[in-house]
Structure 1
Amino acid sequence: MKTKESALKILEILRGEIYSDKIIVDYRMNKADFSRTRKQPFGDMLLFMFNFLRKSLPIEIDNFVNFINLSKVSFKIQNFTKSAFVQKRRKINPDVFKHLSEIIIKNTYIPSNLSIKRFNGLRILAVDGSKITLPFTQELKLFFGESKNQYETSIVQAMSSVLYDVLNHLAIDSVLENIKTGERDLALKHKSHWKQNDLIIYDRGYPSYDFKYEHIKAGIDYLIRVKKNHSKLVSSFVGSKKRTQIVDIKPQEKHIFTGKEYDKNTKIRVRLVRVDLPNGEVEVLMTSLLDSQIYPASMFKELYFLRWGVETFYDELKNKLKVEFFTGYSKITIQQDFFCAIFISNLQSVIVNGLEEEMKVMNENTKLDYKINTNLSYGFLKNRILELLIKEAPLESVFKELENLFLRNTIPIRKNRNNKREVGKYNKRIRPRVLKNQKDAI
């Protein structure tokens, strides 16, 4: 199946699901909710929340109603007010957006979709956590917790974690929990989405014996960056100047074994890989990929660099999709907005991935390779996302219009660029939300 065919098929499935009776039964908060025909049905509520709600709600509602009523669909929207929306959204389970994302994932990773990118036959996933700043309310403070900013001022924040396919640009799973929840605990919440032939890449905050044991038990490969003083074995490896070495590790002496499936003598065989950076620094990677014939040491620098894709995803989420511009102050509103943003990101990736063949043709006669401008692509989706997902709208013509807009607005890929990282740069001042040369698109 070609990339564009896959994208159109996924959009057709989403269209059918959004207005189905089953989605109402499965994702309403109470059995009596949406049980009668109302002026704001379940599907219309979802459509409205998809449409990048970043301005004042009355303005967004006016824009939404006018767009729908002027479009070529049989139904019209009347009496859609801010009060009606606020009351109705309380009846929608935030997990509906995770469900819609799972539809995208399920229908992307199918045997007939030959466009799925892999690395040496492996699906390359990365996990990372990030703090999400929330409105300061007592409800949110009690549920998500609080922390302090650089001015020692209390702020309400949640901790998010995402399992992200860095080659296909899809968020496989996402969670939003209390700020005090550890990154390893959050990462293990993604276990139900692990698949055979997955390789999961982690940064330095994740290595522990128990964490690696969970992966080995599940038959899932991992690649983790570790500190040079992570253990005596790692320190010895760094001092040896070897490129790679296979070692056996055991739990630390102070490890608690209550309820564990292993004891103090249970060994895990891991491979250490040395990566020398251009600035003279040394990084150490720990992995379950033991076969040096299939996975030579020389490939790991490129492989670990792929983890940068999940960092880029968080940049999109916060600075382009503006996920922290929440549309309400309750726990359910925060969860709806967060998981809705993840769904929109996945939908955008489906459309961009569908243009892969066209991009290859465009890049044949250019000095540099080009890619879709992500920031502008979200701006072009405003309102058009409604036409993509309204069942009566002509899907192929809408997709074609977006295709032309995306392809006319590309940016060059400049490889091997290196901006020096300034540690502590923002300790004394407020961090900019967007880069100075990036204008808002939504």
Structure 2
Amino acid sequence: MSTGESGLLGDCLFEIPPRPDDLLVLDRNFGNFHMAHRMTCEGRPFCIRMSTGISNFAKAVMADSRMDFITEWVPSRSERETAKTSETIRVRVTKAVLDSGETELLVSSLQDMESFKTEDLVELYGMRWGVEEGIKNLKPKIKVEQFGRRKPQRIYQEFYAHILAMNMVALAGIAATEQIEKKSRSRKKKRKLTYKYNWKNAFLQLRKRIVELFSRESVEKILETLVNKIAQKLVAVKKGRKFSRKGLGKSARTNQYYK
């Protein structure tokens, strides 16, 4: 609990050897010289989004009129102290203007500008969104951090039970999606928006029936009911919809003992 995201990533990098086919996609929390320098030295391809107004490097490249270029990252005094080196690193800087008007600043090791276009890097960073959605399901919706037990073994049991539940929701969701798409095609009047199943509802429906799934013989009937219930409650998929990070509130403490 005392280890932050950067420390956890450092532990992971220490345990996993560099592989040329891997590529790390990291958000703004990791947009610093120390991380970029370490991955460059270890031969780990990376793409990091940086905050545009924090470091001197970010301010300098944002002031540059070029939108996609290769440059030297010269560490500042504080960056040299953190990284324990005064070496410069060669990185690619890519800027993309989002629909909201905000400029997205990406720093990467992908210096082959013919093979990796600007739009490729923007699409690459966008692939992180699936991870963000998974974390949102685990933390605010399932409340995986709020354990109902004290002993480590019981906490592990709760955690893996949540992971099992997420996988089961995903499988039931695949079946429900097929049903939703089939109904959509059969409608005489085509819908203006695309719809998908409501994940929170799917989790609640599974939670009601998960014991029955492991204790009764009529599993097929229970699964059929589960999929039908999931397919009944839909949410619209609105492309380009953005959410503000402001006003999200503080996270709850870890041990609630409410379950």
CA RMSD of aligned residues (A): 3.6
Contact 2:96 2:122 in 1 (8 A): yes
| 1:411 is the counterpart of 2:235 | yes
Report SS of the residue matched to 1:242: coil
263, 286, 307: which one pairs with 2:107?
Answer: 286
**Match runs of 1:117-196 below 5 Å:** 178=1, 180-191=2-13
352, 376, 380: which one pairs with 2:205?
Answer: 380
Partner of 1:296 in structure 2?
A: 117
**Match runs of 1:246-395 below 5 Å:** 246-249=70-73, 252-255=79-82, 257=84, 264-265=86-87, 268-364=89-185, 365-389=190-214, 393=217, 395=219
- Identity value in percent: 26
26, 31, 36: which one pairs with 1:207?
Answer: 31
Contact 1:237 1:245 in 2 (8 A): no
Partner of 1:238 in structure 2?
A: 62
- More off after superposition, 268-277 vs 227-236: 227-236
Partner of 2:255 in structure 1?
A: none
Q: Which amino acid aligns with 2:166?
A: S
The structure richer in helix per residue is 2
Contact 2:52 2:59 in 1 (8 A): yes
**Match runs of 1:422-437 below 5 Å:** 423=246, 426=249
**Alpha-carbon displacement from aligned partner over 1:117-146 (angstroms, at most 9, x marks no partner):** xxxxxxxxxxxxxxxxxxxxxxxxxxxxxx
| 1:228 is the counterpart of 2:52 | yes
Q: 1:356 to 1:295 in 2, by over 3 A?
A: farther
Q: 1:249 to 1:420 in 2, by over 3 A?
A: closer
Partner of 1:19 in structure 2?
A: none
Contact 1:197 1:220 in 2 (8 A): no
Distance in 1, Cα, partners of 2:118 & 2:60? 18
Distance in 1, Cα, partners of 2:152 & 2:206? 27
* Cα offset, 1:396, TM superposition: 4.5
* Cα offset, 1:338, TM superposition: 3.2
Q: Which amino acid aligns with 1:307?
A: R
Distance in 2, Cα, partners of 1:301 & 1:343? 32
The one of the two structures with greater contact order (alpha-carbon pairs below 8 A, sep at least 6) is 1
* Aligned length, in residue pairs: 244
Gapped regions of structure 1 (runs ≥ 5): 1-177, 258-262, 433-441
Q: Which amino acid aligns with 1:399?
A: L
Distance in 1, Cα, partners of 2:58 & 2:23? 22
TM norm structure 1: 0.46
Partner of 2:256 in structure 1?
A: none
Q: 1:286 to 1:256 in 2, by over 3 A?
A: closer
Q: 1:424 to 1:376 in 2, by over 3 A?
A: closer
Distance in 2, Cα, partners of 1:396 & 1:386? 14
Contact 1:201 1:222 in 2 (8 A): yes
Distance in 1, Cα, partners of 2:92 & 2:159? 37
TM norm structure 2: 0.73
**Alpha-carbon displacement from aligned partner over 1:211-270 (angstroms, at most 9, x marks no partner):** 33554566653321112355544333211121111224466432555xxxxx644x5432
Partner of 1:401 in structure 2?
A: 225
Partner of 1:100 in structure 2?
A: none
Distance in 1, Cα, partners of 2:81 & 2:121? 32
Q: Which amino acid aligns with 2:237?
A: I
Distance in 2, Cα, partners of 1:184 & 1:321? 24
**Alpha-carbon displacement from aligned partner over 1:361-400 (angstroms, at most 9, x marks no partner):** 444443211111101111111253234456x745544433
Distance in 2, Cα, partners of 1:218 & 1:362? 51
Q: 1:372 to 1:202 in 2, by over 3 A?
A: same
* Cα offset, 1:274, TM superposition: 0.9
**Alpha-carbon displacement from aligned partner over 1:326-351 (angstroms, at most 9, x marks no partner):** 32234444443234323322332233
Contact 1:213 1:268 in 2 (8 A): yes
* Cα offset, 1:313, TM superposition: 2.6
Q: Which amino acid aligns with 1:274?
A: K
